[in-house]
Amino acid sequence: MDIQCTDTAIERLIGDSAPIRHVRDTIRVAAAFPSTVLIHGESGTGKELIARAIHEESPRAAGPFVTVDCTVLTESLFESLLFGHEKGSFSGAITSTEGLVRTADGGTLFLDELGELRAPEQAKLLRLLQERTVLPVGSTRQIPVDIRVVAATHRNLAAMVEEGRFRKDLFYRLDVVRISTPALRERAQDIPAIARDIVDRLGALFGVHRELSPEALEALLLCSWPGNVRQLATCIERAAVLSQDEVIQPCHLRLETSAARETEPNLLERSTAETIRFVLKSAMAIGPRRHGAWASIGGSCTG
């Protein structure tokens, strides 16, 4: 779902929970400085939106915001795509290109999923951060660039450094300001506001009115959302399309039972008192269906 809107990126970071308020506060502080920012978080938590917010709140807001998807960069394409190339520098180079780094000159270069880069590309990126120049393929002239680098990853780069899979010197260059994006399950209180915002944007996009019933909102709160806000948005968009009524009901959401089950902590993670209370509550709710009560708390009926 790609909903066009006139809101600023920071306004689209919906919610009033402590984790998301901390993210917004950090964005405003980091935006005022040219330092490199490393955004870490699970997929679907809005890392690119945070990068855009940093750009929009910074003195570079009038400049370009250029995204580089590091998951699709092969070794052969890396230099040409990022640094550009001269005409005739390789087979098929019928014109010269400036590359994405020079396209971002005066603005922000966003390196999405930076942890996917291999060692040769890591070395070239380190040189860019150190020298602030690019050498187009087929050229002998270094070209200075004025960019602010923001990088994002779902991987634990510090662990990758220890394992020898990520350059320590590059990690330290990137990890000047770090922003951790909270998973949706860590700010569940924001789900109703986020869900209503998604519904409003979909209504504007589709030209139809939709709203979530209280029961639908309750159903959304019961899920753990491993795909985070992206998964929530997809779920609501599907419901808005399939619903024949203005009001979206739980049946339109088509939520997986397993997603709701993930919100219940495992028995091993509970204290004895909590476990007893939970088992009794489950048994009373289900009644004589002994197998159902046991299954609902993650147990097995085979023992």
Report pLDDT for 90. Answer: 74
More confident call, 184 vs 259: 184
Displacement of CA 37 from its chain's centroid (Å)? 15
Q: Where are the alpha helices (DSSP H) in the chain?
A: 18-31, 47-57, 75-83, 99-103, 119-131, 157-162, 168-174, 191-206, 214-221, 228-242, 250-253, 257-261, 272-286, 290-296
Q: Let me know if the fold of 10-180 is the same as that of 184-261.
A: no
Report pLDDT for 61. Answer: 98
Q: What is the mean pLDDT of the chain?
A: 86
Whether CATH 3.40.50.720 fits 10-180:
no
Please say whether the beta carbons of 248 and 236 come within 8 A.
yes
More confident call, 137 vs 17: 17
| Banded pLDDT at 255 (limits 50, 70, 90) | confident
Q: What is the mean pLDDT of residues 270-292?
A: 42
Report pLDDT for 5. Answer: 55
Report pLDDT for 245. Answer: 87
Is the pLDDT at 279 greater than 90, yes or no? no
Tokens in use for 180?
Answer: 């951790």
Q: What is the value of pTM for the model shown? A: 0.81
Report pLDDT for 272. Answer: 43
CA angle (203, 66, 80) in 5-degree steps: 135
* Residue given tokens 């590359």 in the structure block: 99
Q: What is the dihedral of CA 265, 269, 275, 281, to 10 degrees?
A: -10
Tokens in use for 181?
Answer: 């994006």
Report pLDDT for 75. Answer: 82
Is the pLDDT at 73 greater than 60, yes or no? yes
Q: Which CATH class is domain 184-261?
A: mainly alpha
Report pLDDT for 298. Answer: 36
Report pLDDT for 116. Answer: 97
Q: What is the mean pLDDT of residues 220-235?
A: 97
Is the pLDDT at 94 greater than 80, yes or no? no
Each residue's pLDDT tens digit, 113-172: 999 999 999 999 999 999 999 998 888 899 999 999 999 999 999 999 999 999 999 999
Provide the b/e sequence for 171-184 (b: ≥16 CB within 10 Å): bebbbebebebbbb
Would you list the domain boundaries of the chain?
10-180, 184-261, 267-296
Is the pLDDT at 289 greater than 80, yes or no? no
More confident call, 274 vs 99: 99
Each residue's pLDDT tens digit, 182-201: 999 999 999 999 999 999 99
Nearest to 96 by CA among 80, 75, 109, 107: 80
Is the pLDDT at 219 greater than 80, yes or no? yes
